[in-house]
Structure 1
Amino acid sequence: MGLGNKFKEVKKAYAEANKLLGDLIKVTPSSKIVGDLAQFMVQNSLTRQEVEEKADELSFPLSVVEYLQGYIGIPHGGFPEPLRSKVLKDLSRIEGRPGASLPAMDFKALEQQLKKKHEDITPEDVMSAAMYPKVFDEFKEFNSQFGPVECLNTRLFLEGPKIAEEFEVELERGKTLHIKALALGDLNKAGQREVFFELNGQLRSVLVKDTVAIKEMHFHPKALKDVKGQIGAPMPGKVIAIKVKEGASIEKGQPLCVLSAMKMETVVNSPMSGTIKKIYVKTDMSLEGDDLILEIE
């Protein structure tokens, strides 16, 4: 999310975010909710007082909004007001324990649904999909595209191998791949490079998207903060949904699009009523903070 060099600021903002949310007891997922708000505050240079004053205008992380709706229950001491009312406006609220109003889960039916979408399904997969349906689907799609990445060590997974580096990947007992990274090809028009490597002594190559180079190839306009109708990304992230179309009439507070980064989703809401003049983003596009999403007139 580009905040690695601001870790001290994030830690300080975490304490302020915690106070804003009512001094939460820290367990998963409440600790993550506070962290999401802290990163949001640092990314947008917001103080605790500014968050409280502008709460009805800001596009908060989805985890913060759902917490205030009551999705993880009622915190000890109750929800912070007037922050809760300013953030939620007309959104629904859950009273009492969220699980009490959930319908019974049909695990057999869920298993059959999963088997239609994915090949091999284990009992653990069914439990994962029941608790985290969206994350589970993303995980299965990732594995389908990239294979059993859990066989790689942490450094190779996060950074990739160095040129001329040799390493082993044990797929299962008695089945080990010997891989050596050889060279990188030139960047093509699609933002890809051909990566050359040896696999068990045989020369192979594969096209890999160069995400760093793609960012340099495309210049995205920034939202001008003094122009009210220009809506910028509140945080870096990928566009996972666009909720409006050009020419559509919208109301203040209406969802415009959804961004996702590091397991944190943010619904970008309209700060004003008007008409969508132009949309500058597409689904799956990666944005930096303040990148222009759309214009309202």
Structure 2
Amino acid sequence: MDTLLSLRVLDAVAELKSFVGAAERLEMSPAMATKHVKHIEARLKARLLNRTSRSVSLTEAGSIYLQRMRPLLEGLDEAEAQISQTGVRPSGRLRVSLPVWMATVSFASLVTRYGEQYPDVVLELDFSARQIGLVEEGFDLAIRVAMSLEPGLIARKLGLVQFKMVASPAFLEKHEPPETIEALENSPFLAYSQVSRDGHLRLPFGEGHAEVQFKPVLISSNEAFLMQCACEGMGYTILPQWLVDGELAAGHLVHVLGNEVRPAAPLHAVYPDRSFMPAKLRSFLDFLVSAGFPEKMS
């Protein structure tokens, strides 16, 4: 059998979780799609798919195998397109890991526009505070503020994310609003666990920086929960402006020392270091940049 075609069948079955769906996409019968998958399994002497009457899923061996094979298949498509001077239409599933605070109306609008322009790409977006294993878990891309690069990954700076220090009006009625950064010392603080569990922060102030030791009263890895607790009057917190601008406009939060304290952090796109970039990944990154992401998202 055509081993290359068998690999494409396996990839389609894994993506669609269906032999029937893969067969329709590749214009063959379900029985022939099954034969192609069995051909690859016989070559490897390993079971690559779990099959039941209701579902199809990758085995551990199948997951490992496809993680290695998909880049080769995508590279072959692009090489053939380059030689034939035809464009590769971005398609397939694009798995992206993003921070929780990016799940906003503005980003939803951006994703919708991307989907309209590239209808053959299925975006699988994982909004999570955890640090994912990009290659091990089969992600194509991660968008991160703070990061340490694992071997085999490369990063592309997308821009800066602005942060704001906020508190609720009710909290500021009980605690005198600070007029100087020194007045924040030992103040109740809602700490993001990935940055400052102990409440100690080095903040940009004026032309330099200032050290502040807050008193943590809550530590969480979920920025949205920190914002809700801030709205309830629990303490100060520092969060991305995307997340808090709506609450500021509604009067649920107040921007504290906004003229003096303006933290910012670079936002990176992190992806596997390959000799090529799949069309679906390139199209998404180029779309983000052309849309002015992240600066124009507030």
Fold match, TM over 0.5?
no
**TM-score normalised by the chain length of structure 2:** 0.21
More helix by share: 2
* Larger gyration radius, structure 1 or structure 2: 2
